[in-house]
Amino acid sequence: MSNFLENLQIGALKLVVDTFGQLSSGIKLASKEGFTSGKMLDYIYKNEPDGKFLIGKLIDSIYLNHPGWQDVRTRKNNLTLNLKDAVNYVLQEKNEARICDIASGPARYILDVLDEYKGKPVSAELRDLDLRWLLEAKETAAKRGLNIEYRTANALEEADFNFDKKPDIMVASGFYDWFDDIEIIKKSMRLIYNSLPLNGYFVFSIQAGHVALSLTNKIFKDFNNHQLKMVTWSMDIINSVLKELGFATIVTRCDDKGHYPVLLVKKV
């Protein structure tokens, strides 16, 4: 009976998403680009309800105020704080700080940080598989008077971890929410570790919990238009990987529910 009720609920929610939900700009974007694509997250961070007609804006407001998205916006704020801490640490030791995001999307959080250090020797290189979002980030940066570099790259391919100028800080936000194999996460973190100089910093997020993981996975699609397959990870497992690779944790910031820890770690 419980499975029947759950399937009924999922069917009803899918119907709403595919019909009235499309009046909401956020739900429409999630249907087109993927529930947690870089573009979708950028919209969530912006947090300005929009849609077709008054009903569309109302649905969008409800969508944006979902507890899950509130946690994601807290994650973004914590990511920004950790990134600023890393920049300050680097600038205490060197004349300049260079950031690289390995899967940036439109990279609103990176641009926000660069904005705060405008006029100071802080630069960023954005990398992503999708050139569209890199070009959008470039356009946004130009409007804000920020200079960024960008290139298309696969965040899991060793051949794509070459740099004209080695980064002091590397970033991965929301990237590990999709991998249910710890060896893939370990491979990614090893590539990042090997790309950083000694005492370089890594800022990243982990999904340790979710308000409605099973339901969300069954209703929405990912950025490849496949059924969503988000996962959660125990911080004990993540911390063991960090220790094995040689990272030391500097600070962990999190929402009050413990869903999205954001870590600042250092290569030692």
pTM confidence score = 0.84
CA atoms within 13 A on the CB side of 195: 29
Closest by alpha carbon to 223, among 91, 94, 110, 128?
128
> In which residue are the tokens 């794509």 written?
160
Amino acid at 109: Y
Phi, psi of 122, deg, nearest 5 = -125, 125
Asked if pLDDT for residue 135 goes beyond 90, the answer is yes
Q: What is the pLDDT of residue 43?
A: 81
pLDDT for 4 beyond 90: no
Phi, psi (5° rounding) for residue 124? -145, 145
Q: What is the pLDDT of residue 25?
A: 85
Q: pLDDT confidence of 232, banded at 50, 70, 90?
A: confident
Which one is predicted more confidently, 57 or 263?
Answer: 263
Which pLDDT score is estimated for 72?
86
User: Which pLDDT score, from 0 to 100, does residue 149 have?
Assistant: 94
pLDDT at 21: 65
Average pLDDT over residues 24-52: 79
**Of 28 and 218, which is predicted with more confidence?**
28
Question: In order of start, what are the domains of the chain with their CATH numbers?
Answer: 2-68 (no CATH), 71-267 (3.40.50.150)
pLDDT range class, residue 1, cuts 50, 70, 90: very low
Backbone φ, ψ for residue 165 (5° rounding)? -135, 120
